[in-house]
Chains A and B, each alone.
Chain A
Amino acid sequence: MQRFEFIGRFARNRGALIGAVLILVVALMALLAPLFFPVDPLRIVGQPELWPGEDADFPLGTDSLGRDMLSMIVHGARATLLIGLFASAVATVIGVGVGATAGYFGGWIDEIAMRAAELFQTIPNLIFVLTIVVILGSTLTNIVIAIGIVSWTPIARMTRAEFLSLRDREFVQACRAMGMGDLKIIVAEILPNALPPVIVLSSLVVAGAILFESAVSFLGLGDPNVASWGRLVGDGRQLIRSSWYICAIPGVAIMITVLCLNLIGDGLNDALNPKLRDR
């Protein structure tokens, strides 16, 4: 029953519904990519710089090397979504961990954790990501870790704020009175109540992570063994005056995906925020 209510509230936000449907399509595309395009998407298969529609074999044309744009877009959805999800997961785990500890225990632990978070916040994010990728090397895992490392601070602050307001509530005090351990209180009692706004934020981090990965790849620091959308935009940059579709197609794909993720974030906010329930 409750679940249907949730979906209903989510779907009441039309934008979020459209976003969710489109993301589902992108996710399906990512899942089924190897079925439709069994060949490595980075293989050179045709003439270079064929415009979309010029050759029926390549509906979206080919890039500067003669690789199939459609295949790269479809396979790119995989890389791009995976990077987004995993980076968001990394950021959420770090953020919730730090935020929960800081908020629950307070005192000097809180001081240290929040000063650390501020330190991270003062470093320009993109520069920080680039630095980490350059030092660790341009592999998919390192890019995910780098994006996670720069994206955890808002989640940590949000989690801390929730914990601060929840830690002295009656139900928590009741748990304490019963002799429940700190870890159990944090994980089983406070966290579920603190989670809704964090989930909204995490969904936005996915979108942010996709943009970070695109920027990293655009600057030529992406993993060259993986077809991602950002990399495609970067490759096409040189040809923007003559074959602009090489930049435009993946650019539109990135834009739509990020927009949809933001819409979903809004929808989740509506669905999870009790204050908006009767709007």
Chain B
Amino acid sequence: MGNDSNRVTRRVFGAGVVATSLAGVAPSFAQGTPKRGGTLVATWGGGEPQACYVPAGGGSSPTFSSSKLFERLGSRTMEGKFQGELAESWKPAADFKSYTLKIRKGVKFHDGKDMTVDDVVYSVSEIWKKYAAASALTDFAGITAPDVDTVVMTFNTPIPEFFFSSLLCGNVNYIVPKHVYAGSDPVTNPANNAPIGTGPWKFKEWVRGSHFEYVKNDAYWRKDLPYMDRLIIRYVRDPAGRAAAMEAGDIHIGVFNPVAPPDIKRLTGTGKFVATPKGYEESVWSTTLECNMRNPVFAKREVRQAMFHAIDRNFLAKTIYYGYARPGTSPIYSPNKEFYTTDTFSTAFDPKKSAALLDAAGYPKKADGKRFAVNLLAAGWFTENGKIGAYVKQALEDVGVAVNLSVPDRPTSIKRIYTDYDFDMAISNQANPSEPVPSTTQYFTTDGIKKGVPFRNASGYSNPEVDALVEKIKVETDPAKRKALVFQFEKIITIEAPLLPMLELESITVASTKVQNHSNDPNYLAATWYDIWLAS
């Protein structure tokens, strides 16, 4: 593994950031009692959502805004343990084809109605199955409520416990009020823009183009929480504007890279802010490079490997991400405690090997010094992607591949990569939780090739061996055996290289040192923030 030494330094670097942030927080923790009342203003490193809540997910923005109002059945701790939220506990049947869940009692929706098992049954069968978790619930058979506090979910095949628990924590796998959604089209229900949930925060107002205002839910089931009276989610279009607003004290916390990397150091340097990479363990972002298998040039896997060998991922991590990234070594990312392995095929930077592989594959340099030409598309939704495109163009040209780079805007990029397949190589991004099925696997399986569905298998890679392996991973209920199968999957994918993460990105939360109890959930952007408070 050529990247191992570097991995250590990246980790150490990350740890350094955490350490400074904790040092900044520590005195406030020592003060003990959380302060009650006040208004917290939060933002994130993106724009306003299309709706406050989108049943199918709709990306990070609506997930961020809706997750403060709705709750899930379960959540994961920073240590990786699953814990109950609206469900108190769950356990599988002996054959793993059904799960029994105990539902929390005494929980009320924001409109004063009780949350019951009917709401759970409705949410799972009508919202999860059809929208929120449609690709994960392919083998879902049904859900019943035998009891006032019990529901039973049944499946056509055995379902591994880790998969099931992860499902309960899924980004937008919320329990929504049946009395609001039943009989309507959930996608267009007006309540999506003024959601009624069970969460610690109640929707008050959405001033479009500016902010959401949420107020404390006095009837929240966690007694005496939340601490604060109001939560404002403000949207600022420009990273520099966010940095200025934070410095002015107008915004207290920004999740998911609110400011440009050079500004992170500047802000933390004042001693008034902390920056931490914690809180993204269940939503690790990567920058990927994929080869379009529809182009016969990429038929041989050696050619695809050669593309990756030509690229210096350490350079990208250091220069373009200012160290807030590390080279990717596997389709499963390194913070994944359950399934990450270093026993993968390495396509580390080695231009000589790249050239040799291309020669051997039947693409020697022609008279003009070029082997073949490719259209490289860098998805323009992150500025960094365009810069990576510029570097990848140069790196590939160094091994004799002529590159025409384009950096289209977000809608055009999505259309060209995931609908028209109009690219030879594409630079895109994905964010995955620990459970590899289906979010990671659908980039590689044949059933993941879904024309027009963004963030699926766009390379067109189809391999019966991989398909069969993923089917086994889906139904293997023995954790150790399942782990071994996922390791095997990682090895095959890194050898085949239809799409690989070039970089794992370190997402950063920047917060004022006054903000307490933050970054304490492995998917903090999508957490409910019930325990956050602001020191004076």
Contacts and interface: CB of A to CB of B under 8 A. Distances in A.
Interface of A: 40, 42-44, 48, 64-66, 134, 137-138, 220-221, 224-225, 235, 237-243
B260 A238 contact: yes
Nearest to B263: A241
A125 to B, nearest CB: 19
B491 to A, nearest CB: 32
B502 interface: no
Nearest to A66: B319
Contact of A242 (B262, B378, B391, B393): B262
Interface in B175-223: none
Interface of B: 239-240, 243, 260, 262-263, 266, 319-320, 378, 380, 383, 386-387, 389-391, 393-394, 404-409, 412
B493 to A, nearest CB: 29
A224 B239 contact: no
16 contacts: A40-B394, A44-B391, A64-B320, A65-B320, A134-B409, A137-B406, A220-B409, A224-B406, A225-B393, A235-B387, A238-B260, A238-B262, A241-B243, A241-B262, A241-B266, A242-B263
Contacts of A65: 319-320, 387, 390-391
Main DSSP-derived SS at the B contact region: helix
Contacts of B412: 134
Contact of B383 (A40, A138, A225, A238): A238
Contacts, number: 60
A243 B322 CA distance: 14
Nearest to A222: B407
A53 B240 CA distance: 27
A242 B386 contact: no
Nearest to A63: B387
Contacts of A241: 240, 243, 262-263, 266
A225 B266 contact: no
A224 B390 contact: yes
Nearest to A221: B409
A225 B390 CA distance: 8
Contact of B407 (A66, A220, A238, A243): A220
B319 A224 contact: no
B394 A64 contact: no
Contacts of A238: 239-240, 260, 262, 383
A242 B266 contact: yes
Contacts of B319: 48, 64-66
Given A48-B319, A66-B319, A224-B386, A239 B391 contact: no
A64 B407 contact: no
A225 B387 contact: no
B408 A243 contact: no
B375 to A, nearest CB: 11
Contacts of A224: 378, 386, 389-390, 405-407
A83 B387 CA distance: 23
A225 B405 contact: yes
Contacts of A242: 262-263, 266
